[in-house]
Structure 1
Amino acid sequence: MNLYSICKPIVAGLFKILFRYKVYGKENVPTEGGVILCSNHKSNFDPPLIGSVCPRELSFMAKAELFKIPLFSQLISNLNAFPVKRGHADRQVLKMTMKLLEEGKTIIIFPEGTRNKTNQLKKGLSGVGFFSLRTDAQVVPCAIIGSYKLFKPTKVIFGKPIDFSELRMRKAKPAEATEIIMTHIQALIDQYK
């Protein structure tokens, strides 16, 4: 049993008490094969919350600065995090993400790139579109609704996978794929708010 499996039920139980979360659409997360989970980003609590309620074990990108903190760096590495340098094209991140998806893993990506406390999404970065078009991974939109106020309900919604076969076939640009993903995330926010 790895650290992720040990922590998952503990974090889920703690967050259930603190944030009274409700989960919708778990059945929409494919049970096998590479999956890109794309979510809005409201708080630093997003990765552990989604990780604790998602039926699949997640890998995620974390800002490189976090890997400079002794002990914390080791902890998040053992919880499937890998570093990303924000603001540059990072070849190591490209390779690592492609490798994980080819191995059939699930990666969570926050296309906005930074936290946004509103219910109106910012423009998504094209990196998520690139991975969606360059791999066979299924792309699942996810939305978090709520403000993580103690004992106030927070919702986590997993949408149906987005079909990218037509965009892959016509070699669409990553920005177009990202825009479609953001539209799906916004639709979940609008539907469940």
Structure 2
Amino acid sequence: MSLVGRPEWPVERLWLWRLGFPLVRWVATTLLPITAVGRENLPRSGGYMLVANHVSWQDPFWIEFALGVRIRYMTKTEIFRYPIVGWVIRAIGNFPVRRGESDRQALETALRVLEAGQPLGYFPEGTRNKAGRLRRAKPGVAFLARRSGKPLVPVAITGSAAAGIRIPPRADMLVRVGRPFTLADLGPPGMTDQALADAIMRRVADLLPDEMKGQYAPVH
């Protein structure tokens, strides 16, 4: 297991992830098995944006456990205010973002993470959707993709909302990885950020069962 790119930006205690991730992953996936499909679609080098649906606070962890790669995530600022939780979140390489406003520092950090060749996890809906059905994507995902010029990788996770330890273990969770794409693959130049965000989210919806497509369900 290796961390692609330089870990020094942003300056975080990534040693905690390096030391603890293999053991934590083994324990977690033994107690609660998770199936990964399409892992071969992940780029082997260079930064990329991993865009996914978001139904549970556990999603970032389970996606990492399933794919076996270190993913840097933007995490809402409020989480960092909890002494122990905030320390752990920062120690594994996540960085704060102020939701609901323009956060230039978070944007610059995200761009540097991608430039350093590290995967960046991004939930285009902006927050968890406990109902499990996709909400409309916010335009920020397109803005960041445009600024970075990096490829995007669609990911769908199912089963995390009801995750729990069971005896015997059952493989109820599934992570599906689609093929990488760029903004140029989504349509002609001049598309608005919102139109691009919708097109990005449709790539995620294509990996989900019909009952979870929500806003992006096909119109019959």
State if a TM-score over 0.5 links the two structures. Answer: yes
2-structure distance, mates of 1:173, 1:134: 14
- Note if 1:117 corresponds to 2:130: yes
**Cross-structure match for 1:158:** 177
Q: 1:76 aligns with which of 89, 107, 130?
A: 89
Which deviations, in whole Å up to 9, do the C-alpha atoms of 1:139-185 show, x marking residues without a partner? 00101111314344100111111232356972432212211111011
Q: 1:89 aligns with which of 75, 99, 102?
A: 102
Q: Could you tell me which amino acid in structure 1 is paired with residue 183 of structure 2?
A: F
Q: Could you tell me which amino acid in structure 2 is paired with residue 35 of structure 1?
A: Y
Identity of aligned residues (%): 31
2-structure distance, mates of 1:168, 1:95: 26
Segments of 5+ residues of structure 1 without an aligned counterpart are none
Q: Which moved more, 1:159-168 or 1:138-147?
A: 159-168
**Cross-structure match for 1:187:** 206
TM-score, normalisation: structure 1:
0.90
Which deviations, in whole Å up to 9, do the C-alpha atoms of 1:20-63 show, x marking residues without a partner? 21011111110111110011111111111112232432111111
Give yes or no for contact 1:34–1:136 (8 Å, CA) kept in 2.
Answer: no
Shift of 1:127: 0.9
Give yes or no for contact 1:26–1:55 (8 Å, CA) kept in 2.
Answer: no
Where 1:23 maps in the other structure, the secondary structure is strand
Give yes or no for contact 1:120–1:186 (8 Å, CA) kept in 2.
Answer: no
Q: Could you tell me which amino acid in structure 1 is paired with residue 201 of structure 2?
A: M
Which deviations, in whole Å up to 9, do the C-alpha atoms of 1:63-115 show, x marking residues without a partner? 10111111322221110110111111111111111111111111101111111
1-structure distance, mates of 2:63, 2:194: 25
4+ aligned runs moved over 4 Å, structure 1: 166-169
Give yes or no for contact 2:48–2:152 (8 Å, CA) kept in 1.
Answer: yes
**Cross-structure match for 1:5:** 18
**Cross-structure match for 2:218:** none
2-structure distance, mates of 1:118, 1:17: 27
Q: Which has the larger radius of gyration?
A: 2
Change (3 A) 1:95 1:169: farther
RMSD after superposition: 2.1
Q: Could you tell me which amino acid in structure 2 is paired with residue 183 of structure 1?
A: R
**Cross-structure match for 2:11:** none
Where 2:112 maps in the other structure, the secondary structure is helix
2-structure distance, mates of 1:7, 1:180: 37
1-structure distance, mates of 2:188, 2:70: 29
TM-score, normalisation: structure 2:
0.80
Give yes or no for contact 2:42–2:153 (8 Å, CA) kept in 1.
Answer: yes
Give yes or no for contact 1:31–1:56 (8 Å, CA) kept in 2.
Answer: no
Q: 1:127 aligns with which of 140, 155, 162?
A: 140
